[in-house]
Amino acid sequence: MRASKLTVTGMALGIALAAAGSAHATLSTAVRVVLQKGKHFEPSDLFLRRGDTITLVNGDETTIHHAFIEADQFAFDAGDQEPGRQATLVLKEAGHFIIQCGIHPKMKLTIHVQ
């Protein structure tokens, strides 16, 4: 089964950004699905905006994954994820972060948040 890239346009959250006068202000947020399968993240790089959401799906049949982020700005820990389970991460901080797996050290997903 291939990972399907799912982009869901969310509710308008850009009104609060209007005061900033940014040319890049957006009226929508996105939800991106990331698959954990075969000890890889699919995709392994993601470019997102603040306010977007990542849904981490364990697409393996027998393997547990444990996604986490250790960053100065924030910490995220999905806990142990059984096959088929999902975890959600809302991106509230801009920057470059690496999602790692506590069980498979080679699993890495780099996220770039504007």
Q: How many CB atoms lie within 10 A of CB 33?
A: 18
Q: Which window, 19-27, 52-60, 86-94, 96-104, contacts Cu ion (CB under 5 A)? A: 96-104
- 3-class secondary structure, 111: strand
Q: How far is the CB of 29 from Cu ion (least distance, A)?
A: 27
103 binds Cu ion, rule: CB under 5 A: yes
Name the one residue in this structure whose structure tokens are 């959250």: 13
The pattern of x and - marking residues 38 through 77 that bind Cu ion according to CB under 5 A reads ---------------------------x------------
| Burial of residue 81, with CB atoms counted within 10 A of its CB: 0-12 exposed, 13-18 middle, 19 or more buried | buried
| Sole binder of Cu ion in the list 33, 54, 78, 101 (CB under 5 A) | 101
Q: In this structure, are residues 42 and 55 in contact, taking their beta carbons and an 8 Å threshold?
A: no
According to DSSP, the residues that pair with 32 across neighbouring strands are 54
Q: How far is the CB of 81 from Cu ion (least distance, A)?
A: 8
Q: How far is the CB of 95 from Cu ion (least distance, A)?
A: 23
